[in-house]
Every structure is written in structure tokens, then in C-alpha cells.
């Protein structure tokens, strides 16, 4: 598999934005070692706009960067979880047959976007919670509480920010699409 220069640049930009946006100073602490962070909106948008591979790598590399600079060490289980979140949200263009690229973003599209965000958070960070419990002997109740809070909080954050941005993207794409059709 080869990646184009454009894809590598997108991954680098997305991972840097996620890495910076994931730092504790930009988040809202909600539970033991658990923070709601604006980086999740970056991850969701890169996944939706550029697909599952970009989504996975932005989440994986970006979370790794966050952990490195935050000073608490790299938690590979949660790094993997962020990658899975980006991968699952990145399925959006394939499922919708690139409707956003054509300037279409209706209520059903938004519902699918929110569902994929929720599914990504539950599956991705569910894997993280399970692996923490098994590999690091973290208390199961603690990691399940982290999972519940993060899945709900991240989904809400992604839904709110995503709605505004994806509506604007669709509007912009619709203008461009109309110009192409007129040619």
C-alpha cells in the first residue's frame, strides 16, 4: 500500500491538531485520567472528510503525540482506541456513497454521523478499557466508568461540532457541485 503525498500531509496535519487539542490544558477533566477534549472533533472530521485510513492514523498518531507531550507516558491501549474511533467514523463517506462530496448532508446523514461517532467511541475505547483491565490490571469498574463517560461525552461533542462544520462543508461543496453540473 502506498500513500500519496497529499494523504501523508493530511495525516500529519490531523495528527498534529489532534495531538495538540488532546493536551490536558484544552480538555475538561471528567473522571480518573479521563478528559473530554476538542481533539475528538478533529478526529471525527478528518475521518469523515478523508476516510478510514486517514481517520485511523490521525487518531493513533495524534493520541500518541498527546500522551508524549502530556507527560503521563504513552498508553498504547488508548492510542489504539483513538485509531479505531477514527477508522469507524471514517466509514461515513463509503456508507453514504460520498453524498457530502456532492453537497448533501441531511438529517439521515447527520444521524449516521452521530451513530458512527457513538459506535466508534464504544468499540474503540471499549477495546481500550478491556485491554487496560486485562494487561494492566486496571479495575474493571473504573475502566467501564471511563468508557461510559467518554463514549457519551465524545459523541455529544462530535455531534455538536460536527453538525456545524459538516453543514458548512456540504453547503460549500453544493456550490462547487452546481458549478460543475453547469459546465
**What integer pLDDT is reported at residue 72 of this predicted model?**
84
Distances (CA, A) of 29 to 2, 19, 120: 39, 17, 21
For residues 75 and 143, is the Cβ–Cβ distance under 8 A?
no
Rg (CA), the chain: 17
**What integer pLDDT is reported at residue 78 of this predicted model?**
93
Location of C-alpha cell 482506541? 81
| pLDDT higher at 159 or 35 | 159
Question: pLDDT tens-digit profile of 105-135?
Answer: 999 999 999 999 999 999 999 999 999 999 9
Residue 28 confidence class, pLDDT cut points 50, 70, 90: confident
Among 20, 62, 26, 38, which Cα is nearest to 156's? 38
How many CB atoms within 10 Å of residue 75? 18
Residue 24 confidence class, pLDDT cut points 50, 70, 90: confident
What kind and span of H or E run contains 29?
strand 28-31
The answer on pLDDT for 34 being more than 80 is no
Cα gap 150→147, rounded to integer Å: 5
Question: pLDDT tens-digit profile of 40-90?
Answer: 999 999 999 999 999 999 999 999 999 999 888 899 999 999 999 999 999
Instruction: Give, to the nearest 10 degrees, the angle between helix 39-50 and helix 52-70.
Output: 160
Mean local confidence (pLDDT), 18-38: 82
The answer on pLDDT for 182 being more than 70 is no
Among 76, 1, 15, 26, which Cα is nearest to 50's? 15
Percent of the chain with pLDDT over 70: 95
Location of C-alpha cell 459546465? 183
Amino acid at each position: 500500500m502506498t500513500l500519496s503525498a497529499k494523504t501523508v500531509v493530511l495525516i500529519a496535519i490531523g495528527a498534529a491538531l489532534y495531538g495538540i487539542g488532546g493536551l490536558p490544558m484544552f480538555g475538561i477533566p471528567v473522571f480518573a485520567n479521563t478528559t473530554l477534549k476538542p481533539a475528538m472533533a478533529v478526529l471525527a472530521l478528518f475521518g469523515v472528510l478523508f476516510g478510514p485510513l486517514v481517520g485511523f492514523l490521525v487518531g493513533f498518531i495524534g493520541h500518541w503525540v498527546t500522551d508524549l507531550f502530556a507527560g503521563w507516558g504513552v498508553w498504547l491501549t488508548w492510542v489504539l482506541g483513538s485509531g479505531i474511533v477514527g477508522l469507524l467514523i471514517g466509514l461515513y463517506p463509503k456508507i453514504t456513497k460520498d453524498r457530502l462530496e456532492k453537497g448533501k448532508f441531511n438529517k439521515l446523514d447527520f444521524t449516521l454521523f452521530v451513530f458512527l461517532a457513538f459506535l466508534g467511541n464504544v468499540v474503540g475505547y471499549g477495546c481500550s478499557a478491556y485491554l487496560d483491565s486485562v494487561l494492566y490490571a486496571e479495575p474493571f469498574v473504573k475502566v467501564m466508568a471511563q468508557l461510559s463517560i467518554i463514549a457519551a461525552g465524545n459523541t455529544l461533542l462530535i455531534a455538536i461540532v460536527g453538525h456545524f462544520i459538516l453543514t458548512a462543508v456540504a453547503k460549500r461543496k453544493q456550490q462547487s457541485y452546481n458549478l460543475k453540473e453547469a459546465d
